[in-house]
Amino acid sequence: METTPKPPISWAIPPVVRLVPNDAAELASLERACFSHPWSEEQLAYGLREKALHILGMRAEDGTLGAYCSFYCVADEGEIVNIAVAEGNRRRGWGRVLLGAVLQSAAEMGIHRMFLEVRQSNAAAIGLYAAHGFVRTGVRKRYYPDTNEDALVMTLTMAEARQEPS
């Protein structure tokens, strides 16, 4: 039986783009693939439509949404809500580039401090955030309802942000 060879994986990192309400279905699909308590398509569309939620994303060569990061900005503070990278795009620099773009966007919006919660067992995400300058500032006990796992609170003073970590 003859098989058609698969095209080589492209290691090129795509540009970061701002997502819009019409992207909500694709966002919800990636949410379901990455999180145990995903946001719904309706929640995502509403947040984008009302401009309460900012979402930057990256598309794979075939045009599908391969990663995104959602964040809120209130006054001079921001909160990273979710960062999701499709399984096939992980460990290829997408998260690093996407987080750097989010921090740049937040700085341009006048944000002075960002914070986030992350599962204490998510070593890859903790490492990514630390590489950009986030530091652990607290713990939310039994934060995640599916496992009762604690969340680490990490904070970044934007003056100390590293868009391109070393």
Query: Taking the CB of residue 163, how many other CB atoms lie within 10 A of it?
Result: 15
Higher pLDDT: 145 or 141? It is: 141
Does the pLDDT of residue 5 top 80, yes or no?
Answer: no
Q: Quick one: average pLDDT of 54-77?
A: 94
| Alpha-carbon torsion (18, 24, 110, 132), positive or negative | negative
Does the pLDDT of residue 61 top 90, yes or no?
Answer: no
Asked if the structure places residue 50 within a domain, the reply is yes
Full domain range(s) for residue 96: 16-160
pLDDT of residue 10: 56
pLDDT of residue 36: 86
Asked if the structure places residue 10 within a domain, the reply is no
Give the list of residues 6+ apart from residue 67 with CB closer than 8 angstroms, or none: 30, 57, 58, 83, 84, 85, 86, 89, 94, 95, 98
Asked if the structure places residue 127 within a domain, the reply is yes
**What tens digit of pLDDT does each residue of 13-24 get?**
899 999 999 999
Asked if the structure places residue 6 within a domain, the reply is no
**What tens digit of pLDDT does each residue of 79-125 get?**
999 999 999 888 889 999 999 999 999 999 999 999 999 999 999 99
Asked if the structure places residue 46 within a domain, the reply is yes
Asked if the structure places residue 31 within a domain, the reply is yes
Specify the DSSP class assigned to residue 92: T
Tell me the average pLDDT of the chain: 89
Q: Quick one: average pLDDT of 119-140?
A: 95
pLDDT of residue 7: 45
pLDDT of residue 9: 52
Instruction: Kindly list the catalytic residues.
Output: 117, 129
Could you tell me the CATH number of the domain that includes residue 39? Answer: 3.40.630.30
Asked if the structure places residue 7 within a domain, the reply is no
Does the pLDDT of residue 3 top 90, yes or no?
Answer: no
User: Cα–Cα distance between 106 and 108 in angstroms, integer?
Assistant: 5
pLDDT of residue 130: 96
Asked if the structure places residue 106 within a domain, the reply is yes
Q: How many domains does the chain fold into?
A: 1
Does the pLDDT of residue 12 top 90, yes or no?
Answer: no
